[in-house]
A and B are shown apart, each in its own frame.
Chain A
Amino acid sequence: MVPVLLILIPLLTGVALFAIRQEATAKSIALFSTLVSLAVMLAGMSVWNDAAHLSFNQPWIGALNSRFHFELDGMSQLLCLLTTFAFPLIIYSTWNNSYVDGNRFFGLMLLSQAGLLGVFMAMDAMLFYFFWELALIPLYFLCSRWGGEKRVQVTIKFFIYTFVGSLFMLIGLILLYFKSGGSFAWADYVKLTLSAREEMTIFILLVVAFAVKMPLFPFHTWQPDTYEQSPTAVTMILSAIMAKMGVFGLLRWLAPVVPAATYQWGDNFATLAVVGMLYASFVAIKQDDLKRLVAWSSIAHIGLMILALFAPSYSGIQGIMIQMFNHGINILGMWIVVNVIEQQFGTRKISELGGLAQKAPVLTILMLIVALANIAMPLTNAFIGEFMMFNGIWGSTATKFGMIYALAGIITIILSAVYTLRMVQNVFYGPTNERTANATDIRLNVQIALAILVVGIVLIGIYPKPILSMTTEISQQILDRMNLK
């Protein structure tokens, strides 16, 4: 019931928006629709929090034994909450951006929301693949139609990259289908016993899709360009939510399905993750474009989650879960600030900005908290998540190199402080220049959006238990499947 509503509300509103000509009306309807989704999600976590309301299971393609099977378990709830929470904020905080053919813009946004929610709730591999692609297509059109100058070349690269990944995953899922005796159900996959060779093949086929999506070094080359060229509202979706699709894929469809191969390949992928984190952090320091800076910092942060999965332990997995949510809202905050700056000054170059703190104190205070969360200061949400992950990586029984990974990872935290604070310093402090001399403070809607995020950041930073308790069961299940403690 709840899953069906969560998919149908954005899907139907999204299609309907194509028929509405006025941009302002379309925007209001889109905001309303996302708020309704959020309300449904919250109801699903409170009053309707029982199996009958949270799952939906109907036959779909009889010949393939595939079913419309959605379920909201702890991890799905967490990510659906992130999605439904982020979308209204994205629309609200970019309220003053205007788009040519705005109704189509918001229609496509809602279609991508439907796709993303479907990915997070699907318990049937075929359905999962369906929504995985459904989330991608609207984003392709959003980036190519409303993006920057080089958008067409950049987004086709993005599309082909992810499409190749998806097709590999499809072959992996087909193999799983035959190995499990003709089933697409996740519940059957986590009970499978496969030979080492079969697991290996399936692992490689599946991991490519997730590695491209997150993105994991060296599959990341599409990401900075795409983040830079997309309209900021779309970049928010890409980084706050779509990057989580990859991590979610690892946690739901990879680690518990082919545990032995995940364990076997753990060190290779953990090394890639560490290399990627260090590389992305160093590159981020050299960036002058705000969007590219946040994009590279995102690669570094996601890298830590990948590392925690391939050097697993209970604390690490729980850390990934909470950090998926935290990273979503933190990076959303960063993008909102970037959007404000770009809208007001028409530039994203750090070197062309300066002294905003004198002109825009409210923005600066809110921005500073988000920036501190980005570097995982204590009392912010990211501290909890990253601390748990480092703790888990260090103590992981699955790898001999846990300590080395953790130490290398901690260097990236220092580097993240370097690039984040350097950005804060150059953009917000120092003397104003002719561009920023007449700066004004942010509008009320941005204030409210950022304030909501800041409250979230601090609340989770002080009291993370409600979120952690949502995912205890699934984290334990993943570890049991991998035979680890």
Chain B
Amino acid sequence: MNAIILSAILGVVLMFTGIFTTNKSTIRAVAVGGMLLLLLANIAELRGMQFFDINTRGMLVFSKLGLLFNSIAFGATLLYFLLSARDVLEVGENGADYFALIFFILCGVSIVSSFNSLLLLFLGIEIISIPLYILTGSDKRNLKSNEASLKYFLMGAFSTGIMLMGIVLMYGARATFSIDPTLQIANAGRDVWYTSGLMLLFISMAFKVSAAPFHFWTPDVYDGAPTVFTSFMATIVKAAVFIAFVRLFEFSYSNSGYDWRLIVSVVIAATLLIGNITAIFQQSVKRMLAYSSIAQAGFMLFALFSYNALSKEGIILYSLGYSLATIGVFAVLIKMKDYTFEGFNGLARTQPVLAATTTIFLLSLAGIPMTIGFFAKYFMLASAVKTGTYLWLVILAIICAAISVYYYFRVIQAMYFKEGAGETVAISSVFRWLLILVAGLIILFGIFPNMILNYLYF
């Protein structure tokens, strides 16, 4: 509850900051300070301190999973602000408003991580989506940005319609919006409604996490949006929708049996193959990262597929590892003058720190041991192996992981083994130290994943 209320208030505060001052460093300070406050408030709730006592009538349930995820999302956003806040202000004239929109998105994030009613899920998803449409189009004079925004909005509106239809069907079948099966009234003969409703919800959520075959918007939108916002969209927002996805399906296995696995496994296989294979052929690192984010979504979908204790731990580690590494890569990408692979040529010579940390981020995305990306993938694969079926899917996943090495390492090859100038814009030493911090966290959690997982239980 702390996070939901505070993030909404902070959003309003930032809007007003924009009215009273246009001083960029003030706006940045307010945003970073607010983010820190939000993170602390959420950690306080994780440790059992509620600042607000509001009766939500069971529509919100604040579980350890949701609160821990909030902390990860807020922590990642804090790092994102520290690394890229300057670039956010560079996008256009309404700097403070961008931060306000991000805080509103975080409000939506904290709703979808704790919803217990389909209405709240809908509310949360919409609170996340609408500011995102604006952020995507925030580079007003850039045609690609406008196109991306419109595309995203139209497709998003469609998926919202499908989601609503699903929710209505499920309401009709169970006479409640609650996802808790104990509150639902099993209505004989209406299981078909329920299953079709769930299916529609699945489709609209799959759209939001860019799972194949609902991924077509992703490359264009990620490519067209200003790079700073792509970074935020591809990490924190995507992970949040995954948490919602996992919560939504928490009870669906008990409701509709394990037949779900067939559908989910097909979606996983398609997502992994399309994401990984298309990423190989990209010439722009930004577009490659867009496809790689589809591929990573394929791995995160394993949490839905297997649904056991391991997959819960896995989705937490995956959110953290994927967010840290992707925010890091994008922060470096923003500083590059040329977004193609050739633009990275020789970066190790001109900017050794950037090259070394980017290498660690990419190794983590590829899932090499000693980085958190390894444990993220490990838990996902282990959870799937534990189900005892569908070994082919696991084999397919590791082959795709090997394919991903190819395109992630292309960047490393460009930076270290090719000749070039590796031109970047001016880089402050604070930025370098922050990158080292993020890389250090990736390695630290990569050796001791317990440091995060313990919070799920204690």
Contact = CB atoms under 8 A, between A and B. Distances in A.
Interface of A: 61-63, 129-130, 133-134, 137, 141, 144-145, 151-152, 156, 159-160, 163-164, 167-168, 170-171, 174-175, 177-178, 201
B453 A164 contact: no
Nearest to B399: A164
B171 interface: no
Given A159-B409, A160-B406, A170 B368 contact: no
B369 A133 contact: yes
A160 B405 contact: yes
Given A62-B450, A160-B405, A174 B381 contact: yes
Judged by DSSP, the binding face of A is helix
A164 B385 contact: no
Contacts of B444: none
Contacts of A144: 413, 416-417
B262 interface: no
B395 interface: yes
Contacts of A201: 391
A309 to B, nearest CB: 25
Contact of A177 (B363, B382, B454): B382
B449 A61 contact: yes
B386 interface: yes
A197 B363 CA distance: 35
Contact of A133 (B370, B398, B401): B370
Given A137-B368, A164-B399, 9 more contacts: A62-B450, A62-B454, A134-B370, A137-B370, A144-B413, A156-B413, A159-B409, A170-B378, A171-B381
A130 B368 CA distance: 9
Judged by DSSP, the binding face of B is helix
Given A61-B450, A144-B417, A167-B401, A130 B370 contact: yes
B448 to A, nearest CB: 8
B406 A178 contact: no
Contacts of A130: 369-370
Contacts, number: 68
A104 to B, nearest CB: 10
Given A61-B449, A141-B416, A145-B417, A163 B402 contact: yes
15 contacts: A134-B369, A137-B370, A151-B417, A156-B406, A156-B413, A159-B405, A160-B402, A160-B405, A164-B399, A168-B395, A170-B398, A171-B385, A174-B382, A175-B385, A201-B391
Interface in B404-458: 405-406, 409, 413, 416-418, 448-450, 453-454
Nearest to A129: B369
Interface residues of B, number: 30
A162 to B, nearest CB: 10
A63 B448 CA distance: 11
A152 B394 contact: no
A110 B406 CA distance: 26
Nearest to B367: A167
B45 interface: no
B406 A171 contact: no
Given A130-B370, A144-B413, A178-B385, A167 B449 contact: no
A154 to B, nearest CB: 11
Interface string B344-381: 00000000000000000001000011100010001001
Most-contacted residue by chain A among B386, B395, B417 (CB, 10 A): B417
B313 interface: yes
A197 to B, nearest CB: 12
A152 B385 contact: no
Contacts of B449: 61, 63
A171 B395 contact: yes
B453 A174 contact: no
Contact of A63 (B405, B416, B450): B450
A72 B232 CA distance: 48
A202 to B, nearest CB: 11
B396 to A, nearest CB: 11
The 7 closest A-B pairs by CB, nearest first: A167-B398, A133-B369, A164-B402, A174-B385, A130-B369, A174-B382, A152-B417
B402 A167 contact: yes
Contacts of B402: 160, 163-164, 167
B454 to A, nearest CB: 8
Interface of B: 313, 363, 368-370, 374, 378, 381-382, 385-386, 391, 394-395, 398-399, 401-402, 405-406, 409, 413, 416-418, 448-450, 453-454
A62 B313 CA distance: 13
Contacts of B385: 171, 174-175, 178
Contacts of B406: 156, 160
Contacts of A177: 382
Nearest to B309: A63
Contacts of B391: 171, 201
A129 B370 CA distance: 11
Contacts of B381: 170-171, 174
A29 to B, nearest CB: 21
A172 to B, nearest CB: 10
A144 B410 CA distance: 12
Contacts of B378: 170, 174
A175 B449 CA distance: 21
B413 A152 contact: yes
A113 B276 CA distance: 33
Contacts of A151: 417
Contacts of B409: 156, 159
A383 to B, nearest CB: 40
Contacts of A61: 448-450
B395 A137 contact: no
A141 B449 CA distance: 26
B457 to A, nearest CB: 9
A177 B381 CA distance: 12
A145 B405 CA distance: 18
Contacts of A134: 369-370
A133 B368 contact: yes
Contacts of A145: 416-417
A430 B175 CA distance: 96
A164 B401 CA distance: 8
A151 B370 CA distance: 25
A140 to B, nearest CB: 8
A141 B368 CA distance: 14
Most-contacted residue by chain B among A130, A159, A167 (CB, 10 A): A167
A127 to B, nearest CB: 10
Contact of B386 (A152, A164, A178): A178
A177 B388 CA distance: 12
A115 B84 CA distance: 36
A358 to B, nearest CB: 41
A61 B378 CA distance: 13
Contacts of A170: 378, 381, 398
Contacts of A159: 405, 409
A141 B448 CA distance: 25
Contacts of B413: 144, 152, 156
A63 B395 contact: no
Most-contacted residue by chain B among A63, A133, A168, A177 (CB, 10 A): A63
Contacts of B399: 164, 167
Contacts of A63: 313, 449-450, 453
Nearest to B449: A61
A141 B363 CA distance: 12
A174 B416 CA distance: 34
A178 B313 CA distance: 17
Nearest to B403: A160
A293 to B, nearest CB: 27
A251 B287 CA distance: 45
A141 B453 CA distance: 32
A133 B402 CA distance: 13
Contacts of A62: 450, 454
A159 B403 CA distance: 11
A171 B395 CA distance: 8
A168 B378 CA distance: 12
B117 to A, nearest CB: 31
